[in-house]
Structure 1
Amino acid sequence: MSRDTDVLVLGGAGVDTIVYVPELPLPYADSYLIDSGIRTRAGQTGDFVAVGLSALGLRTHHLDLLGDDPEGDLVRALHRDRGIELTAVSQPAGTKRAVNLVGPDGRRLSLYDTSRAHPDDRLPEATVRALAATSRHAHVSITQPCAHTLPVLRETGVTISTDLHNWDGENDYHEPFAHTADLVFLSATALPDPERTMRRIVEHGRAQTVVATAGAEGAYLLTDDTLTHIPPATPPAPVIDTNGAGDAFAAAYLYGHLNGEPPYRCAAYGTLAGAHACTIPSTETAAMTRTELLARTEAP
C-alpha cells in the first residue's frame, strides 16, 4: 500500500491567547496594562508539530476535533496557508483554547480550557485506520480522544511517537501513550530522576528510544540501553519565548529519524530547532526550515 504521508499528526489542534506579562509568577493586582497587546492565534502542540514537520519538507496530515467557530477557522487557515492537509472532525463543544502568560525571560504559564472536551469524544476509527494506512509514521498528542486511537494505530502497523510533555513519571493517564509508542519524547522539567523514568518507559513499553528535553541544558537520549547527554544548541538570536520549543524539537528529531539518521544526530537536530523556536514570539508561527536546519548543522 502506498504511504503518501510521511507523518500523521493526531490531536493537539487549537488556539492560544498570548499575554506578555511583566513577571511570572504574576503578583495580584486589580489590573495590568498590556502594551504588547493580547492576541489569539492558531497553534497548540499538534499544530506546532505539523507546521514544524511541513517546514522541514515532510508530507504531513493533521487529524483532530475542531469546532465550527472562529477559533476553528483560525486553525483551518493556519493549515491551509501552509499547505498542510487537515482532517477536522466536528466538535460541538468548540475548538480547544488556552491562555499563555509569557514572562520577560520567555517562560510561560498556560491556562487550558477543559470545557471544550467531553469524556466520550472520539476520532472516528475508520478515519484513523484509513489515514494511518497511508502514513509512514504517526505522532500522537496526549489528548483523551487520541488515547482511544492507540490500539487502532498499533493494528495498522504504523510506527508511533508521542510527547508526554511535563509528565511527572507517576500519573497513570500518560502510561498508555508511554508504553504504546515506539519513540517517546518528554520534558525533564517535572522528573526528579529523568534517567529512571526513561528506563522505566523502555522496560514497560515498546519504545526503543526515549528523549527527555531539558531546556537550556540540552536533552538526554536513551537508546540501545545507553543514556547520552545532548548539548544545547546556541540560539541564533535572543531568547524571547519558549512556547513551542518542545514541539519544534520533536519535529526536527522526526525529520532525522524518517531520513534514516542515527538517534544522536536526530537529537542534535532537535536542539537546533528547539533553540530556533525560543527566538520566535508566541504571537508568530515561524518554524525552522530544512535549509536552515542543515545549514546550522554544517556550521562550525
Structure 2
Amino acid sequence: MSEQRSQHAVYDVLVIGGSGVDTVVRVDSLPVPLADSFGVPAIREWPGHTGGNVALGCRALGLEVKFLDFIGDDWIGGQVRERLAKGGVDFEPLISPTGTRRAVNLVDTATGRRMSFYDARDPGDLRMPRDFYLPHLRRSGHVHLSIMDFARHLLDDIEELGIPVSTDLHDWDGLADHHREFALRCDLVFLSAAGAGERIAAVMRDILREGRAEAVVATAGAGGSYLLTRDGSRTPRPIPATVPPGPVVDSNGAGDAYVSGFLYGRLTGRDLEECARLGARAGAHACTAEGNTDLIGPEALLSA
C-alpha cells in the first residue's frame, strides 16, 4: 500500500480517458519525402494510447489501477480490452457511438522518432455520467486525467473530494485553450518540451503561477527532462536522460512510461527530483521495444 494513498482507497491510480489503437508504420527517415508510394516493413497495431499506456505502466510497477474510458463497440475496441486485460488493468469502459480512437504513427527506423496522426473522433457533447465515475473517484488515491474533453468535467468533483490529480498536456504550446483548464487545475502537470520550443520555461512558470500545480515536468526525449517546483528556482532543473538498456526501437509510449515511473515514485513517498529520475528510467526502457510490449517493473526501475 502506498504511503500517500488515502486510508480508504482501493486504487492507487484511477486513469480517466485516452485509450485507443496505434497503427505503426516504420519508415527510413522523417520527414517522409513526397512520393506516390513506399515499401515499408510489416505494419503493426498496438492498443494503448496515452491513458491506456499510463494505466499499463502503473500496473506493471505493481500499483493498483482502475481505468475508465469510452471505446467503440468495434473490433478496435476489442483490441483495447484484450491488451488491458493482459496487462492486469481493471478496465471499465462506456460505449461511444463514434467508435474507438485511432492513430497512425510514422516511426523512423534509425532513431525511433515518431510522427503521429491522431483521430480523436469523440463527439463534442460526449460526457461520462456522474453516477458512473463518482464511486470510483471515492475509492482512488490519485487520479490521472487524459486531456479528453469529457474528462475536464470531472475536475470539480475531483477538487471537492481533495484527490491529487495529474495530467499530460503532450505538445501544448502554452496557448491553445483546450489544454488550459487541465494545466491550471492539476497538481502534477506533464508536457513535452517540443510544443512550446524555446518558450518552454516560461510556459512552465505560467502553469505554476496561475494554477495549483506543485510541479511541472517537461520531457525532451533524448535531451532528458526539466522539473519546476514551487519550492525551487524559477529556472527548471534539468534531469538527465537515462541511457536505454538496449537499442532504441520505438519511442511511442515513452512519455507515458515516464509519467508511470514518476507517479510510482510519488505514490511511494519519494521526492520530486527522484520521481523525475524514475520517470526518465521508465521512459528509456519503453523505447527498447515496440508499442507497450515491454514495460518496466519495480525491481528494474529501482535497481538501476
Range class of TM-score, shorter chain: over 0.9
The Cα shift of 1:206 comes to 0.5
Residue 294 of structure 1 corresponds to which residue in structure 2?
302
Query: Of 241, 250, 253, which residue of structure 2 is paired with 1:232?
Result: 241
1:106-145 paired onto structure 2 within 5 Å: 106-114=112-120, 116-145=121-150
What CA distance in whole angstroms lies between the structure 2 residues aligned with 1:56 and 1:168? 31
Letter in 2 for 1:19: V
Query: Of 257, 262, 269, which residue of structure 2 is paired with 1:260?
Result: 269
The Cα shift of 1:173 comes to 1.2
Contact in 2 for aligned 1:98/1:112 (Cα 8 Å): yes
Residue 154 of structure 2 corresponds to which residue in structure 1?
149
Letter in 1 for 2:182: F
Letter in 1 for 2:301: L
1:189-268 paired onto structure 2 within 5 Å: 189-191=194-196, 192-223=198-229, 224-226=231-233, 227-268=236-277
The Cα shift of 1:152 comes to 2.1
**Matched residue SS, 2:280:** helix
Aligned residues with identical type, % of pairs: 46
1:1-300 paired onto structure 2 within 5 Å: 2-34=8-40, 36-104=41-109, 105-114=111-120, 116-191=121-196, 192-223=198-229, 224-226=231-233, 227-282=236-291, 284-296=292-304
What CA distance in whole angstroms lies between the structure 2 residues aligned with 1:220 and 1:10? 25
The Cα shift of 1:225 comes to 3.3
**Matched residue SS, 2:142:** strand
What CA distance in whole angstroms lies between the structure 1 residues aligned with 2:122 and 2:242? 37
User: Which runs of no fewer than 5 residues in structure 1 stay unpaired?
Assistant: none
CA RMSD of aligned residues (A): 1.2
Moved more, 184-193 or 42-51: 184-193
Contact in 2 for aligned 1:273/1:288 (Cα 8 Å): yes
What CA distance in whole angstroms lies between the structure 2 residues aligned with 1:97 and 1:129? 27
Contact in 2 for aligned 1:129/1:156 (Cα 8 Å): no
**Matched residue SS, 2:303:** helix
Letter in 2 for 1:154: E
The Cα shift of 1:193 comes to 2.1
Could you tell me the TM-score, scaled by structure 1's length?
0.95
Could you tell me the TM-score, scaled by structure 2's length?
0.94
The Cα shift of 1:295 comes to 1.4
Contact in 2 for aligned 1:60/1:84 (Cα 8 Å): yes
What CA distance in whole angstroms lies between the structure 2 residues aligned with 1:56 and 1:83? 11
Moved more, 184-193 or 91-100: 184-193
Contact in 2 for aligned 1:128/1:152 (Cα 8 Å): no
Letter in 1 for 2:282: A
Contact in 2 for aligned 1:242/1:277 (Cα 8 Å): yes
The Cα shift of 1:33 comes to 1.6
